[in-house]
Amino acid sequence: MFKFKKYTILSLISFTFLLILSATTVFLIDPYQHYRKAEFYKPYSFDNRYMVWGLLKNYDYDSVLIGSSMTANFRKDYVDDDLNLNILRVPLPGATAYEENLLIQKALQNKKLSTVIIGLDLVSFIGGKQKVRVEKYEIPSYLMNNSYIDDFKYLLNMDVLFRDSMKIFVSNFLGIKVDMIDFNTFWNWDYQHNFGKEFWVENYFTHREKSNIKNVYNINKLKESFNYNILPHFKNNPNIEFIIFFPPYSVLGWKSLERQKSLKDAFEFKRYIVKQSSKYANIKIYDFQIEKNITHNLDNYMDQNHYSGEINRWIISQIKDDNYLVSDSNVDMNLSILKEQITNYNLIDF
CATH number at residue 130: 3.40.50.1110
Total-model pTM:
0.91
| Domain housing 342 | 2-349
Compute the mean pLDDT over every residue in the chain, rounded to the nearest whole number: 89
- pLDDT over threshold 80, residue 89: yes
pLDDT tens per residue, range 120-166 = 999 999 988 988 876 555 678 899 998 989 999 999 999 999 999 88
The count of structural domains within the chain is 1
Mean pLDDT, residues 81-98 taken together = 95
Burial class of 293 by CB neighbour count within 10 A (0 to 12, 13 to 18, 19+): exposed
Cα distance between residue 282 and residue 241, in whole Å = 5
Question: Is 254 within 8 Å of 317 (Cβ atoms)?
Answer: no
- pLDDT over threshold 50, residue 2: no
Q: Enumerate residues 6+ apart whose C-beta is below 8 A from 300.
A: 195, 250, 294, 307, 308, 310, 311
Q: Which among 162, 184, 172 has a CA at the least distance from the CA of 72?
A: 184
Cα distance between residue 310 and residue 301, in whole Å = 10
* Sequential DSSP letters for 66-120: EESGGGTT--HHHHHHHHT--EEEEE-TT--HHHHHHHHHHHTTSTT--EEEEE-
Cα distance between residue 164 and residue 175, in whole Å = 16
Q: Give the CA radius of gyration of the chain.
A: 23
Cα distance between residue 161 and residue 86, in whole Å = 32
